[in-house]
Amino acid sequence: MTFSERILVWYDKNKRTLPWRGTRDPYKIWLSEIMLQQTRVVQGTPYYLKFIGNYPKVHDLANASEEEVLKLWQGLGYYSRARNLHATAKMVVGEYGGDFPDTYKELLKLKGVGDYTASAISSICFDRPEPVVDGNVYRVLARYFGVDLAINSTEGVKYFKKLAREVMNAKNIRDYNQGIMEFGAIQCSPKKPNCDECPLNKSCVALQTNKVGELPVKLKKTKVRDRYFNYVVFMSEDTKMMLEQRKGKGIWQNLWQFPLIESEESLIKESFTRQLNSFDYQPEIVSVDKFNTDAIIHKLSHQHLYTTFWIVHTKGSQQDGGVSFEDVEKYPVPVLIADFLERFKKTYFQ
DNA sequence: AAAACGGGGCA
DNA sequence: TGCCCAGTTTT
């Protein structure tokens, strides 16, 4: 049996039941693929079900507001995926009459659809002989063929794509592509792969040369940046809070948060109070207090956010931008803000 | 070519 | 703590 035949046999016996597994509906495959980019199946699945429930057809997604889409996406991370998802839904409805393109080349033009996703959709939905190369495939190929090129180097990316094309099963690309990814996720996992019961163990180069733990090779990631966030939770006498939308570049684009003072280090109350002058909004201040004594460390893949929430009670009622506590929960916010709101609610409204 | 972009799970 | 996840886009 060839490599791809063994993958197909293994897949037939070991595949998980997943909500999108049986379908060829490009909308559903596309949605699942976008959600699973850099995201584990267990984390993405509830969101997939939620989206299909709210938007059964691509038209439903296209007709929604970005705000609503972001709210449903809240907590899944990499929010550009949600913005691109929405834009692509509108594009598919507006420019393609509601039907997704059926070739790799055309799919690649859609926002948020790169090499992997274009390959996945074209092969899974339309049987196009395009090999997928995701993190699982890199791992399986690197180990089985003993390739020590860095998977995130330009040369490595090119090499693995070519190798993937050479060893794929073009006759049943739909199952083969899903099979090799499933194989990487279940059998040839990053840590503690099950080599003892692996159908490929006799011919696996990494196993034979005792290099399973060293492959695949990946170039070092960039180091993490520390940032200091001071969120200003203005609370007026009518218990309304000031909320604003993140614009421009950077993290959490188009999501909502409290007015933010970023500093070079943790602030004491005096310096914080002084910096309140920088806002356009200048209410009469009644009190200033830290909500959390120690900074909350919110970790992103590339940033550590040392965060303090300052509760600033103000005189009178909120001007424009005031949001009641019930309404705050309707806005799409980062997990950092959502967690705070949860704790704040318990502290002040119980 | 490298950096930016989230959040969670696991040893 | 560091690594990885059905990657893509921007710099």
Q: Which helix H or strand E contains A107, and what residues bound it?
A: helix A104-107
CATH class of this structure's domain A225-348? alpha beta
Extents of the domains making up chain A: 3-214, 225-348
Nearest residue to B9 via alpha carbon and C1':
A40
Q: For the domain with range A3-214, which CATH number is right: 3.30.470.10, 3.90.1150.10, 1.10.260.40, 1.10.340.30?
A: 1.10.340.30
**Cα–Cα distance, A350 to A342 (Å, whole number):** 12
Nucleotides of B under 7 A from a protein CB: 1-11
Checking each nucleotide's C1' against the CA of A38, the nearest proves to be C5
The mean per-residue pLDDT over the stretch A48-77 comes to 98
Cα→Cα distances A28→A24, A48, A96, A332, Å = 8, 9, 16, 23
Per-residue pLDDT, A325: 87
Q: Which residue numbers of A are catalytic?
A: 33
How do residues A95-131 score in pLDDT, each as one tens digit? Answer: 999 999 999 999 999 999 999 999 999 999 999 999 9
> Which pLDDT band, with edges at 50, 70 and 90, does A268 fall under?
very high
**Mean pLDDT in chain A?**
96
Q: What is the DSSP pairing of strand A225-235 with strand A260-263?
A: antiparallel
* Residue nearest C10, CA–C1′ metric: A249
pLDDT single digits (tens) A145-203: 999 999 999 999 999 999 999 999 999 999 999 999 999 999 999 999 999 999 999 99
Q: Report the alpha-carbon distance of residue A321 to residue A242 in Å, rounded.
A: 5
Q: What is the pLDDT of residues A82-98, one digit of tens each?
A: 999 999 999 999 999 99
Residues A217-233 have pLDDT tens digits of 999 877 899 999 999 99
Report which residue is nearest nucleotide C3 when distances run from CA to C1'.
A190
Q: Which A residues 269-298 have CB within 7 Å of strand C?
A: none
Spacing of A243 CA from B9 C1' in Å: 32
% of chain A exceeding 70 in pLDDT: 99
Residue A266 binned pLDDT confidence (cut-offs 50, 70, 90) = very high
- The contacts of residue A289 (CB under 8 Å, 6+ apart) are A310, A311
The DSSP bridge partners found for residue A240 are: A324
pLDDT of A235 strictly over 70? yes
Task: Please report which confidence band the pLDDT of residue A317 belongs to, taking 50, 70 and 90 as the band edges.
Answer: confident
